[in-house]
């Protein structure tokens, strides 16, 4: 993975996060469904079932946003690298010669005028 493009790595990490998020959401959904089955009243059972359904809806929406964001970042990075690769490197400008003797002469002239 040392020479892999970072956009591929970004997509892999997003896929791992998506998988983890959805597995946790399913665990929580199953927990709520279990509580609904054990509930003594109909209202309590219905409330737990609604919480299980809402949990999955919210997790699915969050996973979709996460995937979209990762795709956008990966595409942006890949585009930036293509642009950087196609742009030629600027040539270094030549440095001007130093003018120390002229500056020293100007300082000496100022010193003479001040006396």
Taking only the tens place, the pLDDT of each residue in 60-94 is 999 999 999 999 999 999 898 888 888 887 777 77
Q: How far is CA 17 from CA 20, 46, 54, 90, 109, in A?
A: 5, 31, 20, 40, 72
Mean of the per-residue pLDDT values for the chain?
Answer: 85
98 pLDDT more than 70: no
Query: Range with the lowest mean pLDDT among 13-22, 23-32, 89-98, 106-115?
Result: 106-115
Whole-angstrom distance, CA of residue 73 vs CA of residue 79 = 10
What pTM did the predictor assign? 0.65
């Amino acid at each position: 993975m040392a020479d892999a493009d970072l956009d591929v790595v970004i997509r892999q990490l997003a896929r791992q996060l998506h998988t983890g998020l959805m597995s946790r959401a399913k665990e929580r959904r199953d927990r709520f469904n279990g509580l609904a089955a054990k509930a003594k009243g109909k209202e309590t059972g219905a409330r737990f079932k609604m919480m299980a359904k809402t949990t999955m809806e919210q997790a699915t929406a969050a996973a979709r946003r996460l995937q979209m964001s990762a795709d956008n970042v990966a595409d942006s990075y890949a585009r930036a690298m293509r642009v950087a690769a196609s742009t030629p490197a600027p040539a270094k400008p030549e440095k001007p010669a130093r003018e120390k003797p002229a500056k020293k002469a100007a300082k000496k002239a100022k010193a003479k005028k001040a006396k």
